[in-house]
Structure 1
Amino acid sequence: MIGWFLRKLNDFPVDRDNPGPSVLKIPSRLLTQGEVVGIFSSGTRIEEQTALKQGAITIAQRSKAPIIPVAYEGPNSFKELFIKREAYLIFGEPIHISTSKEQ
Structure 2
Amino acid sequence: TISADGRFIAFVSNATNLVATVSGQQVYRHDTQFGVNGQNVVVSLDSAGLPGAGGNSTAPSITDNGGFVAFSSTAPLISPAAAADVYVRAVP
Q: Which has the higher contact order (CA 8 A, sep 6+)?
A: 2
Considering fraction of residues, name the structure with more helix. 1
- Give the TM-score category using the shorter length: under 0.3
- TM-score for both structures, normalised by structure 1: 0.24
- TM-score for both structures, normalised by structure 2: 0.26
